[in-house]
Every structure is written in C-alpha cells, then in structure tokens.
Amino acid sequence: MDTTTDRLNWRQACALLGCSKSTLYRLVSRGMLRACGVCSRNRWFSRRECEALLEGKPPLAREEKDS
C-alpha cells in the first residue's frame, strides 16, 4: 500500500481499517467517514480520517481538527 498519499481508494481504505467494502460504505452512510469525489466511480477516502476513526475520535472532532 502506498503510504505517501492521503487519498485512498476503497480497497486501500478497507485494508487500513481492516473491514469489508460493505462495512466501509456503512461507515459512510452513518456519517462516521466521508467519501469524497465526483461520482461513485471516482470515490476516495482520506487516510487522516481513516486513521482518526481507528483512534476512536468522533466524526465532529475530526472535522474540527481539519478546519
């Protein structure tokens, strides 16, 4: 896995989080993780947000940190 980029595709995000694709998108639908991109084919996930999720930080704390 390329550790130099902050943008992860769904496979990379799943590998980092240790979850399945369906769990990844469930996290998105629950507002725990943001999926960025123009359309569903070009979605990407922030490495920083994935790591913050692993650390147990709530979504609002991650957004405030990024602002």
pLDDT band with cut points at 50, 70 and 90 for residue 23: very high
Q: Using CB atoms within 10 Å of the CB of residue 5, give its burial: 0 to 12 exposed, 13 to 18 middle, 19+ buried.
A: exposed
Write out pLDDT tens, residues 32-46.
Answer: 999 998 787 789 999
- Rounded Cα distance between 52 and 13, Å, is 12
pTM of the model: 0.76
Mean pLDDT of the chain: 85
Contact status, residue 50 vs residue 13, Cβ threshold 8 Å: yes
* CATH T-level fold of 7-66: Multidrug-efflux Transporter Regulator; Chain: A; Domain 2 (1.10.1660)
**Pair type for strands 7-8 and 45-46:** antiparallel
